[in-house]
């Protein structure tokens, strides 16, 4: 049988569903509750330009609160949201909220870009582009300030229509970046086939560049290649000055990481913006 949400809120599970762990079912319940009661939130992590370290953008990252506390991390609840299909509503909420916030900052004199993560199911979902248009219209955000972060997994999920869909999104002026670059199986072929504006070098590379010669060589090569393809390169998870110096010299254009700021609430981020340009 299909899973049915009972009118009283209880669920009937098919036998294979009962194999989902209790933890995952608990997260599903928390997610449903959070969606209905406005308990999801976004935090914003600064993205800086490698040369001057000015904040040029923010990545919006989902947070889930239970009684005011963060009980589950995105790495725990995003997979459950994907398995249950809830990611479509949650992702739409996140996209709208991020665009609304970026529009506010733009009005206040800070026209920074906003990056939003998009899950495979959300991307595949018929009408993704229409939904995107609706959100851009409703919020009034300049599409050029929006960047969608897609992973290889997202690209793979789109099937034959992927390239067409990516082109449609870019026609609006929205930018696309390949997230977690280098961790998948086909990174290089993705770079060749899919029209993206930027790639984000995964934290796993950045972590090792200062003490592992091979990682350093691979990372430099990725940056050089991306630049020759005219793509921006954003390094993720930059935590030390040594990493930052290496990446800057290798030609990385933008950076993100605890060295420049962890994800933070919108109000905190605004304070940083105030200090940014005075
Ligand atoms: P991601 O998109 O690759 O985001 C980067 C993650 O690295 C974030 O974890 C961020 O807090 C963390 N991070 C940033 N700088 C550093 C650093 O210097 N050191 C370390 N150790 N970590 C750093 P977070 O917020 O826990 O998110 C994890 C993943 O969950 C994201 O990876 C993304 O794949 C997913 N996610 C988060 N928000 C959303 C969303 O709104 N929609 C979708 N579909 N996925 C999301
Ligand atoms: Mg991301
Ligand atoms: Mg990433
Ligand atoms: Mg990631």
Check: CB of residue 233 under 8 Å from CB of residue 224.
no
Q: What is residue 193's predicted lDDT score, i.e. its pLDDT?
A: 85
Q: Is the CB of 97 under 6 A from ligand 1?
A: no
The pLDDT, as a whole number, for residue 3 is: 43
SS3 220: helix
Does ligand 1 lie within 6 Å of residue 158's CB atom?
Answer: no
Dig out the tokens for 158 from the structure: 């789109």
The closest alpha carbon to 112, from 173, 44, 57, belongs to 57
pLDDT at 12: 53
Closest atom, ligand 1, to C-alpha of 94: 41
pLDDT given for residue 166 in this prediction: 94
pLDDT at 16: 54
Burial class (CB in 10 A: 0-12, 13-18, 19+), 98: buried
CA dihedral 99, 120, 61, 20 (to 10 degrees): 140
pLDDT at 125: 83
Length reported for the chain: 278
- 183-210 pLDDT tens trace: 887 778 888 888 999 999 999 999 999 9
Element (H, E) at 211: none
Nearest atom in ligand 1 to the alpha carbon of residue 116 is 41
Q: How far apart (Å, rounded) are the C-alpha atoms in residues 198 and 222?
A: 12
Q: Is the CB of 12 under 6 A from ligand 1?
A: no
Could you identify the residue written with the tokens 């725990």? 76
Phi-psi region for residue 53, left (φ > 0), alpha (ψ -120 to 50) or beta?
A: left
Q: Are 77 and 20 in contact (CB under 8 A)?
A: no
Closest residue by CA, ligand 1 atom 41: 62
Q: What pLDDT is recorded for position 192?
A: 82
Instruction: State the pLDDT at residue 7.
Output: 44
Nearest residue by C-alpha to atom 37 in ligand 1 = 61
Pairing of strands 175-181, 146-150: parallel
pLDDT (tens place) for every residue of the chain, 278 residues total:
334 444 444 555 555 555 678 889 999 999 999 999 888 999 999 999 999 999 999 999 999 988 888 889 999 999 999 999 999 999 999 999 999 999 999 999 999 999 999 999 999 888 999 999 999 999 999 999 999 999 988 888 777 788 999 999 999 999 999 999 988 877 788 888 889 999 999 999 999 999 999 999 999 999 999 999 999 999 999 999 999 999 999 999 999 999 999 999 999 999 999 887 54
What pLDDT, on the 0 to 100 scale, is given for residue 276? 76
Question: Which residue's CA is the nearest one to ligand 1's atom 17?
Answer: 237
């Amino acid at each position: 049988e299909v899973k049915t949400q009972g009118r009283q809120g209880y669920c009937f599970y098919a036998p294979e569903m009962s194999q989902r762990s209790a933890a995952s079912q608990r997260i599903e319940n928390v997610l449903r509750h959070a969606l209905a009661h406005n308990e999801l939130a976004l935090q914003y992590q600064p993205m800086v330009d490698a040369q001057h370290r000015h904040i040029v953008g923010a990545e919006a990252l989902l947070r889930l609160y239970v009684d005011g506390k963060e009980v589950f991390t995105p790495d725990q609840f995003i997979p459950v949201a994907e398995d249950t299909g809830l990611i479509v509503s949650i992702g739409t909420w996140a996209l709208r909220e991020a665009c609304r916030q970026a529009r506010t900052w733009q009005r206040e004199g800070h026209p920074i870009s906003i990056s939003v993560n998009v899950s495979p199911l959300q991307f595949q979902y018929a009408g993704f582009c229409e939904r995107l248009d609706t959100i851009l219209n409703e919020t009034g955000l300049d599409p050029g300030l929006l960047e969608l972060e897609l992973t290889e997994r997202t690209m793979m999920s789109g099937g034959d229509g992927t390239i067409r869909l990516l082109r449609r999104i870019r026609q609006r002026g929205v930018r696309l970046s390949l997230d977690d670059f280098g961790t998948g199986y086909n990174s290089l072929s993705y770079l060749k086939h899919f029209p993206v504006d930027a790639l984000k070098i995964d934290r796993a590379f950045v972590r090792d560049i200062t003490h592992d010669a091979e990682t350093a060589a691979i990372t430099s090569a990725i940056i050089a290649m991306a630049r020759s393809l005219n793509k921006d390169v954003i390094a993720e998870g930059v935590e030390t000055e040594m990493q930052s110096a290496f990446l800057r010299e290798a030609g990385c254009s933008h950076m993100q990481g605890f060295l420049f700021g962890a994800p933070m609430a919108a109000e905190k981020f605004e304070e940083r913006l105030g200090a940014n340009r005075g």
